[in-house]
Amino acid sequence: MSAEVKSHLIELLTRGLAKVAPQQPGSLISLERPKQAQHGDFSCPAAMQLARALKRNPRELALELVAALPPSEWLERAEVAGNGFINLRVRPAAKQHIVKTIFADGDRYGRSESAGGRPVIVEFVSANPTGPLHVGHGRNAALGDAIGALLESQGWRVTREFYYNDAGAQIRNLGLSVQARIREKLGVPAEFPADGYRGDYVLEIAEKYLEAGNADGEDLEAVTRFAVVELRREQDLDLQAFGVRFDSYFLESSLYADERVEKAVQALLDSGKAFEQDGALWLKTTEYGDDKDRVMRKSDGTYTYFVPDVAYHLAKWERGFTRAINIQGSDHHSTVTRVRAGLQAASSKGGRGIPQGYPEYVLYKMLTVMKGGEEMKISKRAGSYVTLRELIDEVGRDAVRFFLLSRKADAEFVFDIDLAKSQSEENPVYYVQYAHARIRSVLEQRKALFGGPDPDLAAADLVPLTGGRELALLQRLGEYPEVLENAVAELAPHQVVFYLRELAGQFHSYYNAERILVSEAPLRSARLALCLAVRQVLRNGLSLLGVSQPEKM
C-alpha cells in the first residue's frame, strides 16, 4: 500500500479520535499490517492503547471510533475485532493508486530523504593485504556495499571506507614469506617462517619482485612494501570485478605515523581508566560491560590489536562521522565491547560525547561453498581457502552478490555453486531476473500482436485491476518503501532479497494464471501498466543489491 494511502487512513482515524477523545493527541494513531490477510489491509491498536487512560472498555471505544470515521473514497470498511483492534480494508482504487505513484517516481520509488543528508561511514572488507580475497571477504563486501546503497536510498550521505591493516605481525610474516621464496628462486638456502603464507601467490610476488630489477630480497622492508602494494592492487581488482567501490582508504600504519595511537593511549590514561600491572598497561573495560579488564600495552611495549582500533574510531569521530557502521566477521565479536569501552573512556574527559553504541557493528558468519555435492575448501592459488575471484568466475557477479545477501548476516550459509549456475525457478537470482526480462518480452509480444505505437501506460485506467492476484500484486508493490525503511533500520539487506523473491513469485504466478495481452484494450493496458510497475520495482530493488536487470535471458 502506498504511503499516501497509509497517511490517508491515519488522517481518517485521527479525525475520528478528535471526535471521540478530543483531549488525546493524534500522534497515538498507528497502523500495523495484520499477519493474516482475512483481517484486512491494516489494523489499528489505538483503542486498546487508550482504554486505560480513558477508563473505557477498549472494544466499546473501538466501536465508537469506527462510527466516528469520516467517509472516504479509499476506505472500504472498518471492523472491530477481538478486544478492540480496528481492522481496515481499503477499496481496490486505493491499491491501484500505487501504479501511478511508481510511474511518477520511477527509479526513485521507495527512496526518501528522511535522513536529511546526515553523514555515515560504512567500513567494510578491510582485509589484511596478506593474500587474495576469500569468499568470506565477498560476503563482507556484498553486505557493506548493499548497506551503503540502502542508507543512501533513505537520504544518508554515505562514505564507504576500506581500512588496511598494513602494520603488525601478519605483515611481517608476509614479508618473510616472500623473502624466503625469493631466496629459493635464487638458489639460496632459506628457512620458511613457521607462520608464513604458503599459497602460490607468494611465489608469484617473489617472481615479480625479481622481474622488477631487484637483485635479491635481503632488504626485508623493501620486500614487504612491494608485497603489500601487489596484494592491495590485486584486492582492488577483485573488488572492481565484484562491482564494489570505495570512497576512501585508511592505513593502519598512518595511526602510528600521525601519533594517533599514542594520543589515544594518553587520552585513556587521562581518563583514569587505565592502570599499570605486571609491567603492562591495562584498560578497565569491566566498567563498560566486559567480563575482565584488557591489556592495552604488553610488557614488551607493543600494543594489543584493539588499541589502534580505538585510535581509528576516534579519528572517524573527529572526521565528523557521528554515525559509523562496521561490517566484520563474527570472530570479531569480542572486539565490539573493547573498542566501545576504549572510546567511552577516551572521550569521558575530552568533551567528545561519543555515544555508548558507537560504532555500530554488523557481524556476519562465514560460509560453506559446495560444488558437485562436496565442500570446496582449497584454492589452487591461495592454498588454503576459496577465493572471491574463483567464485565470481564460477557463477558470475550477480549470483554471488544475490546469494551472499540472501540470508541474515549472522546466519550460517551454504553457497551451492550448482544451484547458482542453474537456470530454474529454484535459483533465486535467476527467478527474479527472469521476471524482469519476462516483462520486456510481454511488451515485445504486444507490439507483434497489436502493432502501432506503444500506449501511454502511465495514463492507463486501472479500474479493471480487480482480480485476486492483481490486488495481491498491487499490495506487494505498495510495501516496497516500507521494506527499504525496515531494511535500513535493521541494516538487513536480506529483507530486500526476500521481498524481491516474493514479488517475482507473485508475478510469475499471475503471468501463468492470467492472459496479459487480452483483446479488450482497456484491460490489456491496465495489465501492462501493472507489469511495468512490477518491472520498475524489480529494477529498483536489484540495483540496490548491485545486481543487474537483464532485458533478455
| In the predicted structure, residue 417 carries a pLDDT above the cut 90 | yes
Query: Quick one: what percent of the chain has pLDDT higher than 90?
Result: 84
Q: Which is nearest to 333 in space by CA: 386, 410, 400, 280?
A: 410
Q: Which residues of 510-526 are buried (b: 16+ CB within 10 A; e: fewer)?
A: bbeeeebeeeeeebbbb
Task: Report, as an integer, the average pLDDT of 288-295.
Answer: 93
Query: Tens digits of per-residue pLDDT, 353-408?
Result: 899 999 999 999 999 999 999 998 876 677 778 999 999 999 999 999 999 999 99
Residue 388: CA atoms inside 13 Å, Cβ hemisphere, count?
A: 30
Q: Which cell numbers hold the place of 400?
A: 554471488
Q: Once rounded to an integer, what is the mean pLDDT over residues 263-276?
A: 94
Domains of the chain, each with CATH number or no CATH: 3-90 (3.30.1360.70), 425-545 (1.10.730.10)
Q: Is the pLDDT of residue 425 over 70?
A: yes
Q: What is the mean pLDDT of residues 221-225?
A: 96
Rounded mean pLDDT of 520-545? 98
Q: Quick one: CA torsion of 199, 203, 206, 210, rounded to 10 degrees?
A: -160
Looking at residue 293, what is its pLDDT?
95
pLDDT per residue over 72-83, tens digit each? 989 999 999 988
Question: What 3-state DSSP class applies to 120?
Answer: strand
- pLDDT for the residue 331: 87
* 296-316 mean pLDDT: 94
Cβ(109)–Cβ(536) below 8 Å? yes
Q: What are phi and psi of 156, to 5 degrees?
A: -80, 145
Q: How many CB atoms lie within 10 A of CB 33?
A: 14
Residue 483 has pLDDT above 90, yes or no: yes
Q: Are 243 and 191 in contact (CB under 8 A)?
A: no
pLDDT band at residue 28, thresholds of 50, 70 and 90?
Answer: confident
Residue 190: predicted pLDDT: 87
pLDDT at 350 over 80: no
In the predicted model, what is the mean pLDDT of residues 524-549? 98
Helices (H), 242-330: 252-257, 260-270, 306-318
Residue 380: per-residue pLDDT: 65
The DSSP string of 291-313 is SS-EEEE-TTSPBPTHHHHHHHH
1 pLDDT band (50/70/90 cuts)?
A: low
Instruction: Note the pTM of the prediction, 2 decimals.
Output: 0.92
Is residue 510 pLDDT above 90, yes or no? Answer: yes
